[in-house]
């Protein structure tokens, strides 16, 4: 009887393995919400496990996921799949001292170990055959011994890559945006030489098996790279590849040099072929993918045009649009997908947060075909639909954001979601020999969507469309006093063009519209003594549109006012009409 039980157990496992790792299961009817090239299907393996970051898939199909925010659970998740090829067990594990926060961290399976990292350390567990949760003790491979407060370090992520000679590669991101003495201070020059480059702003090489290493045990492999979250070793050409997150806030820091549109699309997210000794040019230079060259940063004398010595630094193999946020990179080595994908690069674009007043962009998985260590064609949209919205105004509007990538033993591609923790398994079910341009056509069309295309400076400015909607309401409720040109009547009703009351504090302006204004006021140096009635009967949307209209017209050039900002002021305790004496 025991032998029969053992035989049946092995038979069950074999059938399960064939079903979920051999003959591919059916995808979900809606592909889990994803849009994929023809011939591909997607299956949601698990949903809502928490804010998932990077992931790894074992040979037996077990999935391991690193969480960003562990509390009140452990920082790692193990997922086994059942007969329907969806999760039948979700187990949280990983009781280890967290240094630097869980944060945007890495996870890889390498030589039978599960490697994972917090913001300030790299750990590993020896995987236990036949067990989902490793039974070995957690070992510390690397400790970030940066002497300052590690929680205040801007780019502390520790993604991981391994070569074929026993080395592990770990970025040490820059502590700041662009190496100023006081970080992110408008108009402040950068430090030259940049002292951060002595210990940060690059990639270090370590022994993958040595315990309790610190930075001094490693070797600086590359420098001049601000922040890396997406990184992988390409075994086809035996080379490290990484994508850099570009700097922020051109327009906020240098409004006289850069427009809001330039801030939305620049600088490029650079895709580097990382050879030992390379210098990407940070913080002195950035890559402009529109001009196709490295330009001098304004903190170092640049003006959006000066090239300086930009050509002397390592150029990217591809310059992606700004703020796409590349958060994982995977070179595909499987055989399940068509030959087109062999040894090519998948990139998970987590999505922008700072593109306003233009739509947020990214939020998709890209593919770059490769041949002989270089891109062999233009980049493609591989998987889209994560956000479940056509236009993403705020990052929080996105239902899902692609984060991690991993390949299963059968060649399936796994994608993790950083919002709720959904895991997709993407499979090819079509005719590999017939796969070509026709199957990619619909994905090429998606490059015109607002989350992927380069926005039109006028048509895609969301503030302008908001202002356009507010023009009609302005003429109905405001122009009688303030006039159609916003110049007021010169006596009782003050002008709106160039008014400090209009372009200044948002909350004060909203409060004036909601609660009215009485008594003498000074606008542009002139005294006015009229009465502005309450307009609290208008909806939050109406007020937001009106105020956006006046802040973007009549020679004004201020930011939009959103509906939620009006709601915040409206929901404060009621006040009497404002009096300015």
DSSP assignment of 308-322: TTGGGSPPPSEEEPT
pLDDT of residue 169: 98
Confidence of residue 581 (pLDDT cuts 50, 70, 90): very low
Name all contacts of 65-70 with Cβ < 8 Å and 24+ positions apart.
65/107, 65/404, 65/416, 65/421, 65/423, 66/102, 66/105, 66/106, 66/107, 66/116, 66/117, 66/404, 67/102, 67/421, 68/102, 68/103, 68/104, 68/105, 68/418, 69/102, 70/94, 70/98, 70/102
pLDDT at 569 over 90: yes
Residue pLDDT, tens place only, 63-74? 999 988 765 556
Of 96-100, 484-488, 495-499, the one with minimum mean pLDDT is 96-100
pLDDT at 574: 54
Question: 428-432, 487-491, 520-524: which has the minimum mean pLDDT?
Answer: 487-491
566 pLDDT exceeds 90?
yes
b/e 396-432 (16+ beta carbons within 10 angstroms → b): eebbbbbbbbbbbebbbbbbbbbbebbbbbbbbeeee
Strand locations in 321-438, DSSP E?
326-331, 345-349, 364-368, 370-371, 374-375, 380-383, 402-407, 413-417, 423-428
What is the full DSSP assignment across 235-261?
TTTTEEEEEEPPP--HHHH-TTT--HH
Q: What is the DSSP string of 190-207?
A: BPSS-GGGGTSSEEEEEE
Query: How far apart, in whole angstroms, are the C-alpha atoms of residue 306 and residue 57?
Result: 46
pLDDT at 83: 80
Query: What pLDDT, in 10s, does the model give residues 398-419?
Result: 999 999 999 999 999 999 999 9
Radius of gyration of the chain (CA): 27
**pLDDT given at position 472:** 82
Compute the CA torsion angle 299, 300, 302, 304 (nearest 10 deg).
-50
Indicate the pLDDT class of residue 491, thresholds 50, 70 and 90: low
pLDDT band at 537 (very low <50, low <70, confident <90, very high): confident
pLDDT of 102 over the 90 cut: no
Nearest C-alpha neighbor of 332 from the set 317, 321, 342: 342
pLDDT in tens, 177-205: 999 999 999 999 999 999 999 999 999 99
Can you tell me the distance from the alpha carbon of 477 to that of 405, in angstroms, rounded to the nearest whole number? Answer: 53
Q: Where is average pLDDT lowest: 95-104, 301-310, 426-435?
A: 95-104
Residue linked to tokens 């329907």: 84
What pLDDT is recorded for position 389? Answer: 93
Cα 130 to chain center, whole Å? Answer: 36
How much of the chain, in percent, has pLDDT values that exceed 70?
Answer: 91
Classify residue 360 by burial, with Cβ atoms within 10 Å: 0-12, 13-18, 19+: buried
- Angstrom CA distances, 124 to 141, 208, 329, 544, 559, stand at 7, 10, 21, 51, 47
What was the pLDDT predicted at 366? 98
Model pLDDT, residue 18: 46
Q: How many CB atoms lie within 10 A of CB 4?
A: 8
Per-residue pLDDT band for 23 (boundaries 50, 70, 90) equals confident
Q: What percent of the chain has pLDDT over 90?
A: 72
Is the predicted pLDDT of residue 49 greater than 90, yes or no?
A: yes
Q: How far apart are CA 579 and CA 581, in angstroms?
A: 6
Pairing of β 517-518 and β 40-46: unpaired
Higher pLDDT, 38 or 104: 38
Higher pLDDT, 317 or 157: 317
Please tell me the predicted confidence (pLDDT) of residue 8. Answer: 39
- Between CA 39 and CA 365, with CA 414 as vertex, the angle to 5 degrees is 70
CB proximity list for 310: less than 8 A, separation 6 or greater:
281, 285, 293, 294, 295, 296
Residue 579 — very low, low, confident or very high, per pLDDT cuts 50/70/90?
A: very low
User: 10 Å Cβ neighbour count for 503?
Assistant: 18
CA 23 to chain centroid, in Å, comes to 34
Q: Is the peptide bond preceding residue 267 cis, with omega within 30 degrees of 0?
A: yes
Angle in degrees, 0-180, between the axes of helices 540-551 and 462-477, rounded to the nearest 10: 100
pLDDT per residue as tens digits for the range 539-555: 999 999 999 999 988 88
Has residue 519 got a pLDDT over 80? no
The structure tokens 């919400």 sit at 33
pLDDT (0 to 100) of residue 90: 95
CB atoms within 10 A of CB 129: 8
- Average pLDDT score over residue span 417-441: 96
Q: Give residue 201's region: left, alpha or beta (phi > 0; psi -120 to 50).
A: left
Q: What are phi and psi of 291, to 5 degrees?
A: -80, -20
Contact 93/133 with Cβ under 8 angstroms? yes
| pLDDT of the residue at 488 | 86
Residue 78 has pLDDT above 70, yes or no: yes
pLDDT reading at 521 higher than 80: yes
Q: Which of 337, 330, 366 is nearest to 435 (CA)?
A: 337
d(C-alpha 452, C-alpha 384), whole Å:
10
CA pseudo-torsion sign 544, 550, 553, 556: negative
- Could you tell me how many residues make up the chain? 581
Tokens of 552: 């973007």
At 529, the pLDDT band (50, 70, 90 cuts) reads confident
- Higher pLDDT pick, 572 / 565: 565
pLDDT given for residue 465 in this prediction: 74
Q: Measured between alpha carbons, how far is residue 37 from residues 293, 366, 367, 445 in Å?
A: 32, 12, 11, 11
- Residue 466 clears pLDDT 80, i.e. is over it: no
pLDDT confidence tier of residue 388, bands split at 50, 70 and 90: very high
Q: Find the range with the poorest average confidence among 33-37, 256-260, 522-526, 564-568.
A: 522-526
More confident residue, 517 or 426: 426
Interval 125-158: pLDDT, tens: 999 999 999 999 999 999 998 765 554 678 988 9
Number of CB atoms found within 10 A of residue 71's CB: 9
User: Residue 12 has what pLDDT?
Assistant: 41
Reference 315, options 347, 348, 274; nearest CA is 274
Both structure tokens of 313: 């630094």
Residues 6+ apart with CB under 8 A from 171: 157, 158, 159, 202, 203, 204, 225, 227, 228, 231, 242
Structural element, H or E, at residue 115: strand 113-118
Out of 43-52, 150-159, 406-415, 437-446, least confident range: 150-159
Mean of the per-residue pLDDT values of the chain: 90
């Amino acid at each position: 009887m025991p032998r029969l039980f053992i035989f049946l157990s092995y038979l069950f496992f074999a059938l399960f393995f064939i079903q979920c790792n051999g003959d591919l299961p059916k995808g979900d009817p809606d592909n889990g919400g994803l849009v994929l090239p023809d011939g591909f299907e997607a299956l949601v393996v698990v949903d809502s496990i928490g804010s998932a970051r990077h992931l790894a898939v074992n040979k037996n199909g077990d999935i391991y996921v690193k969480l960003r925010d562990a509390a009140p659970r452990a920082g790692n998740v193990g997922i086994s799949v059942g007969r329907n090829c969806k999760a039948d067990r979700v187990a949280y594990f990983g009781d280890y001292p967290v240094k630097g926060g869980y944060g945007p961290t890495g996870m890889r399976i390498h030589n039978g170990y599960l490697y994972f990292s917090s913001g300030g350390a790299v750990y590993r567990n020896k995987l236990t055959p036949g067990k989902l949760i490793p039974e070995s003790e957690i070992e510390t491979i690397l400790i970030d011994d940066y002497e300052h407060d590690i929680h205040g370090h801007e780019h502390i992520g520790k993604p991981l890559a391994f070569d074929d000679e026993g080395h592990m590669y770990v970025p040490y991101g820059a502590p700041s945006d662009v190496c100023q003495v006081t970080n992110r201070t408008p108009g402040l020059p950068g430090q030259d030489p940049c002292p951060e480059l002595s210990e940060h702003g690059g990639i270090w090489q370590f022994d993958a098996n040595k315990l309790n290493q610190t930075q001094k045990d490693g070797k600086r492999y590359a420098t001049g790279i601000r922040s890396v979250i997406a990184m992988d070793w390409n075994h086809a050409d035996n080379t490290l590849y990484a994508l850099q997150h570009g700097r922020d806030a051109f327009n906020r820091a240098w409004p006289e040099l850069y427009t809001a549109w330039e801030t939305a699309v620049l600088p490029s997210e650079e895709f580097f072929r990382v050879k030992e000794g390379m210098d990407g040019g940070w913080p002195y230079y950035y890559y402009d993918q529109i001009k196709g060259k490295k330009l001098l940063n304004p903190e170092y004398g640049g003006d959006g045009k000066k090239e300086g010595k930009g050509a002397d630094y390592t150029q990217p193999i591809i310059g992606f649009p700004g703020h796409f946020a590349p958060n994982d990179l995977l070179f595909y080595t499987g055989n399940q997908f068509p030959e087109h994908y062999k040894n090519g690069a998948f990139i998970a674009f987590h999505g922008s947060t700072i593109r306003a007043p233009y739509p947020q962009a990214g939020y998709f998985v890209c593919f770059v075909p490769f041949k002989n260590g270089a891109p062999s064609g233009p980049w493609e949209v591989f998987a889209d639909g994560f956000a479940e919205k056509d236009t993403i105004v705020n990052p929080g509007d996105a239902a899902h954001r692609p984060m991690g990538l991993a390949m299963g033993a059968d060649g399936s591609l796994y994608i993790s979601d950083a919002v709720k923790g959904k895991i997709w398994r993407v499979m090819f079910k079509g005719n590999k020999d017939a796969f070509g341009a026709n199957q990619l056509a619909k994905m090429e069309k998606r490059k015109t969507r607002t989350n992927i295309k380069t926005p039109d400076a006028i048509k895609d400015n969301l503030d302008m469309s908001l202002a356009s909607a507010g023009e009609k309401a302005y003429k109905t409720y405001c122009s009688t006093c303030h006039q159609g040109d916003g110049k007021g009547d010169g006596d009782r009703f003050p002008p709106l063009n160039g008014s400090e009351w209009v372009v200044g504090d948002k909350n004060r302006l909203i409060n004036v519209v909601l609660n009215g204004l009485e008594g003498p006021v000074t606008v542009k140096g002139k005294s006015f003594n009229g009465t502005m009635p309450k307009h609290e009967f208008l909806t939050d949307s109406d007020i937001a549109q009106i105020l956006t209209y006046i802040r973007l017209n009549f020679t004004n050039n201020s930011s939009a006012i959103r509906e939620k900002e009006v709601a915040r002021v409206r929901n404060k305790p009621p006040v009497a009409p404002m009096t300015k004496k």
